[in-house]
Every structure is written in C-alpha cells, then in structure tokens.
Amino acid sequence: MNCVFCRIVKKELPAHTVFENDHWLAFLDIKPVNLGHTLLVPKTHYDNLLDLPTNLATKALPLIQKIAAGVQGGTGAAGFNLGLNNGAAAGQLINHVHFHIIPRLLGDGHRHWHGRTIPSDEELAAVEKKILSALESAERTG
C-alpha cells in the first residue's frame, strides 16, 4: 500500500508529530489552512469514517478535544475548526480517515462555507423521511 499517512505512521516519511499513542497519531499538516493545522489519523488504515471500527471511533473525540486544546493554546488561536472529509465528493484527498484540527484567528481571511438557499419545508420533510428510512434500514441489518 502506498498510503502517505500509513508511511508517516511507519516513520517512512517525516512528520512533525504532536501526539502519539498505540492507536492514533497526530501531526502537522504540510499544507495548512493556518499554521498549527493538525491531522489525527488512526495508525491502522481505514479508508474513511464509515470504515473506522466503533471502538476506535469512540476514542477519537476525547483525543480530538485534548489535541485541539493543545493546538489552540500553542498557536494562540481564538478558536478552531474540526473537519473530516469523507469521500472524494467531500474533498477527501487521501483515502485514510483523518480529522483536521484547524486553528482559527479572528480576521484570518478564511471563510466558513456558504449555505444553499433555504429549502422549503416540503424539501426538508422529504429528505428527513429518506434519512430516517436509511437509519431504520441500517438498524435492521446492523
């Protein structure tokens, strides 16, 4: 496998590591939105969030909180964005699940995404029904 994140985990490629334990590695992004932009990756390869086993997924949020506090404190950021791009359509460039912790400064020039026009209540009700159906189907098969 030629996954760049797997190669970083195996120490085949250099990285500026800010956190590591038996299952997770956090390192600075080499193309940061802002300096201090950090990626948290599981050490085992999983393509995306839907492939990540629940036992690892449940451990991610406490680590994200810990690392985000360090990123925010270490950079003097006023806040941070937490991101995860799941699949090419969502902008995932490396097919190894990873969380972005992006320090944000007031006036840093980066804009939050803009929303669509406000959908009608009928459109919202229709998509609500489809999502509920998919969730119920997953419960029956899962």
What residues does each domain of the chain span? 4-117
Q: What is the pLDDT of residues 81-116, one digit of tens each?
A: 999 999 999 999 999 999 999 999 998 988 777 777
Assess whether 114 carries a catalytic annotation. Answer: no
* Residue tagged active-site, from 98, 110, 112, 114: 98
Q: Specify the long-range contacts of residues 60-66, CB closer than 8 Å, at least 24 apart.
A: 60/24, 60/99, 63/19, 63/21, 63/24, 63/26, 64/40, 64/99, 64/101, 66/19
> Which pLDDT value is given to residue 40?
98
Average pLDDT over residues 67-92: 96
Mean pLDDT of the 53-79 span: 96
* Superfamily in which the 4-117 domain is placed by CATH: HIT-like (3.30.428.10)
pLDDT in tens, 53-62: 999 999 999 9
